[in-house]
Amino acid sequence: MKYDVIVIGAGFGGLSCATKLAKHGRKVLLLEKKPHTGGTSHIFHRSGFAFPMGALGFSYPYKVKKFLENVGIEEKIAFERSHYQLVTPHFDMVYSRPFDELKKVLAHIFPEEKKIGAFFSDFSRILDLVANISSWHPDYQVHAAKITDPVLLSRITLVENYSRTPSATMLEKYFTHPVLINFLGSQGTYAPTMSVMNLGLMWNIMSSEGIWFPSCGIHGLTDSLEKAFNRYGGKLVTSTPVEKIFLSYGKASGVSCPGGQKFFADWVVCNTDYKKTFLQLVTGNGLTKKYLKSVKEIPYTQSELCVYLGIDPNKVNLDAMKAPHLFYRHKYNLNKKPAQEDFDNREMEICLWSDKAPDLVPPEKAALILRVGFPFRHFSRFWTGEKKRNESYYAYKTELALSLVKAAENILPGLRSAVEVMEIATPLTYQDWGQRHLGSLAGWTWHVKGEEILGKKILVKTPIPNILMAGIYAASELFLGGIPTAIHTGSMAADIILLGKNPH
Ligand SMILES: Cc1cc2nc3c(=O)[nH]c(=O)nc-3n(C[C@H](O)[C@H](O)[C@H](O)COP(=O)(O)OP(=O)(O)OC[C@H]3O[C@@H](n4cnc5c(N)ncnc54)[C@H](O)[C@@H]3O)c2cc1C
């Protein structure tokens, strides 16, 4: 049987594209490697606790809601805003607040810095520029007409310039205190590496749009998309990895799966990550060496160690948490780069998961998620094949997890004695279970260099006719944050197909 479209992967990007196409009467086959849909927004269960594999919240809930309504999902979903707090030896503040408030707090903490007001007024203009970027920038639209409007042209030029300007250069023009520069440049304690444009997008989400959690849980949204897809007659096949995309006369014409199973279609949409798609699924054909070299070399965002804890809340003091997301650094030595395993000297994220999703933990219990960034290479010595590790891996990751819990105890006294359930994810988990190249978490690198090399903001169209991308790796910047960007690119891929024109 031939399909109109094959979608590979049922994360937010793949499900959004597949459901929109099925709603519009296209014959769609959705192939998912895992036994379930949802991708990295899936939840898993351990001893009565349900924990999220990835996402803990997202921005632009009204855009997500509008998309869901447009594909016929009418369930009532309420959104609650999640707040973010940073605690370091220098300050303790909830920073997910409007600039007017943030400015006053920072002026109080850093009285010697005289340009805080000037910075916020200049930076607000950048935020205004990027705020609703998907509604006016041609890269984010399927119907991008030739632009002649001089106002719009100058707006686009500004965005391009900011995309190539390192935020560190801008921040150093206003400030001297490295703690302040790091905070404004990373929303934490790291030296700024991203572009001014990306920083603007990040602060717009944090201060202005907010980060929200839906009443049905994030997994509830992908469940609704799956139901709608089935209702429109789409064909979903789980536990079926695509191994190759094959071409005919230079255009995508189908895919093959284990056991020699083949499926044919006019279009193939990949919710797989970009590197996996072009370095494994469609090798060679139609791609220049230069193109393959850039796909190989441009890094993705890195991975992390994540420790999931089911706890007895009566045995730990959680008073320090003024918000469900706490970024915490116990010691802050600006002169020395801390070792990866030195958790007292590194920034960690602590999420009070049970506060966000009380229905997903047993009564009278609580759940915490501790996260700290780690590159894949730190763990690669343990990897012996997909979902295979050598013996010492388990002892090592447990030792690391316990050390992270101990470091978290500096701010949450009693934590170690409160732990009843512990599960650990490493970059190997995010690669083998999350299906992400080297366990990457959040799309392409956020480093200013990445945008410079990729050059394009939207990567939905690919060099191979009738192959499209959907999901967070289909954009060089997460301009709406993770999930809404995955939905937006999935929707764009569907629109390109519905337009009926080959974009090449
Ligand atoms: C630890 C972590 C934390 C995160 N936190 C947030 C957050 O708080 N907020 C946020 O917005 N985003 C967050 N993200 C990013 C998040 O993953 C996305 O925003 C969103 O879930 C991405 O959806 P996607 O469709 O792009 O990709 P995915 O969810 O990765 O979906 C891709 C799908 O493709 C499938 N697949 C891969 N290869 C094949 C194959 N060969 N054949 C068939 N199927 C295949 C996969 O199994 C998967 O189901 C986080 C990610 C991680 C890993």
3-state helix, strand, coil in the chain (%, to 5): 40, 20, 35
- Atom 13 in ligand 1: which residue has the minimum CA distance? 55
Write the CB contacts of 25 (distance below 8 Å, at least 6 apart in sequence): none
> What is the chain's Cα-based Rg?
23
**CA of 100: how far to CAs of 95, 175, 207, 208, in Å?**
11, 18, 10, 11
CB 271 within 8 A of CB 8: yes
Query: Is the same domain home to 260 and 192?
Result: no
Q: What is the pLDDT of residue 453?
A: 67
E strands present in 360-418: 366-374, 383-385, 388-389
Nearest to 259 by CA among 243, 248, 275, 274: 243
pLDDT tier, 22 (very low <50, low <70, confident <90, very high otherwise): very high
87 within a domain of the structure (yes/no): no
29 within a domain of the structure (yes/no): yes
Residue 194: alpha-carbon gap to chain centroid: 15
From 19, 41, 222, 476, give the residue whose CB has the most ligand 1 atoms within 8 Å, as the site to mutate: 41
SS (H, E, C) 57-94: CECCHHHHHHHHHHCCCCCCCCEEEECEEEECCCCEEE
Q: The domain spanning residue 218 has which CATH number? A: 3.50.50.60
Pairing status of strand 28-31 against strand 235-237: parallel
Range of the domain at 376: 303-437
**CA of 415: how far to CAs of 309, 324, 406, 410, 452, in Å?**
10, 16, 8, 9, 44
Boundary residue ending a domain (209, 243, 258): 209
The rounded distance, in Å, linking the Cα atoms of 174 and 115 is 6
504 within a domain of the structure (yes/no): no
The rounded distance, in Å, linking the Cα atoms of 257 and 87 is 49
Boundary residue ending a domain (409, 437, 465): 437
* Atom of ligand 1 lying closest to residue 276 CA: 38
Q: Give the DSSP letter string of 190-229.
A: SPP-BBHHHHHHHHIIIIII-EEEETT-HHHHHHHHHHHH
Burial letters for 32-61: b for 16+ Cβ neighbours within 10 Å, e otherwise? bbbebbbbbbbbeeeeebbbbbbbbbbbbb
Query: Is the same domain home to 293 and 419?
Result: no
Query: Is the same domain home to 188 and 120?
Result: yes
Query: Is the same domain home to 321 and 467?
Result: no
The rounded distance, in Å, linking the Cα atoms of 381 and 385 is 11
The rounded distance, in Å, linking the Cα atoms of 179 and 187 is 11
Query: Is the same domain home to 419 and 294?
Result: no
Does position 331 have pLDDT exceeding 70, yes or no? yes
Does position 503 have pLDDT exceeding 60, yes or no? no
Please write the tens of the pLDDT for every residue from 379-403.
999 999 999 999 999 999 999 999 9
What amino acid is encoded at 470 in this protein? A
Q: What is the pLDDT of residue 288?
A: 83
- Pocket around ligand 1 at a 6 A CB cut-off: 8-14, 31-34, 39-41, 54-58, 241-242, 271-272, 430, 434-435, 441-442, 471-472, 481-483, 486
What sign has the CA pseudo-torsion 93, 94, 98, 101? negative
Query: Is the same domain home to 195 and 253?
Result: no
pLDDT tier, 456 (very low <50, low <70, confident <90, very high otherwise): confident
Residue 458 Cα, ligand 1 centroid: separation in angstroms? 18
Does position 452 have pLDDT exceeding 90, yes or no? no
90 within a domain of the structure (yes/no): no
Does position 410 have pLDDT exceeding 80, yes or no? yes
The rounded distance, in Å, linking the Cα atoms of 230 and 71 is 12
Which H or E element spans position 169?
helix 167-174
Which H or E element spans position 24?
none
Residue 484 Cα, ligand 1 centroid: separation in angstroms? 12
Please write the tens of the pLDDT for every residue from 347-365.
999 999 999 999 999 999 9
The rounded distance, in Å, linking the Cα atoms of 272 and 252 is 16
Query: Is the same domain home to 65 and 153?
Result: no
From 432, 435, 487, give the residue whose CB has the most ligand 1 atoms within 8 Å, as the site to mutate: 435
487 within a domain of the structure (yes/no): yes
Please write the tens of the pLDDT for every residue from 96-144.
999 999 999 999 999 999 999 999 999 999 999 988 898 889 888 888 7
Nearest to 271 by CA among 241, 306, 297: 241
CB 469 within 8 A of CB 274: yes
Boundary residue ending a domain (163, 192, 209): 209
- Atom 37 in ligand 1: which residue has the minimum CA distance? 272
CB 35 within 8 A of CB 11: no
91 within a domain of the structure (yes/no): no
Query: Is the same domain home to 307 and 432?
Result: yes
The rounded distance, in Å, linking the Cα atoms of 308 and 421 is 8
Mean pLDDT of the chain: 94
* Atom of ligand 1 lying closest to residue 472 CA: 26
Write the CB contacts of 260 (distance below 8 Å, at least 6 apart in sequence): none
Q: Which tokens is 480 given? A: 């709406």
Query: Is the same domain home to 356 and 282?
Result: no
Query: Is the same domain home to 261 and 353?
Result: no
- Which residue matches tokens 């934490």? 188
The rounded distance, in Å, linking the Cα atoms of 189 and 183 is 6
Query: Is the same domain home to 431 and 325?
Result: yes
237 within a domain of the structure (yes/no): yes
Give me the mean pLDDT over the 186-209 stretch.
Answer: 95
* Atom of ligand 1 lying closest to residue 14 CA: 25
Percent of the chain, pLDDT > 90? Answer: 84
The rounded distance, in Å, linking the Cα atoms of 475 and 457 is 6
Cβ neighbours, 10 Å, residue 225: 26
Please write the tens of the pLDDT for every residue from 35-86.
999 999 999 999 999 999 999 999 999 999 999 999 999 899 999 999 999 9
235 within a domain of the structure (yes/no): yes
pLDDT tier, 292 (very low <50, low <70, confident <90, very high otherwise): confident
Could you say which DSSP state residue 241 is in? -
Query: Is the same domain home to 72 and 221?
Result: yes
Residue 13 Cα, ligand 1 centroid: separation in angstroms? 8
State how many domains the chain has: 3
What amino acid is encoded at 420 in this protein? E
Helix 218-231 to helix 12-23 angle, to the nearest 10 degrees? 30
E strands present in 317-365: 325-328, 348-352
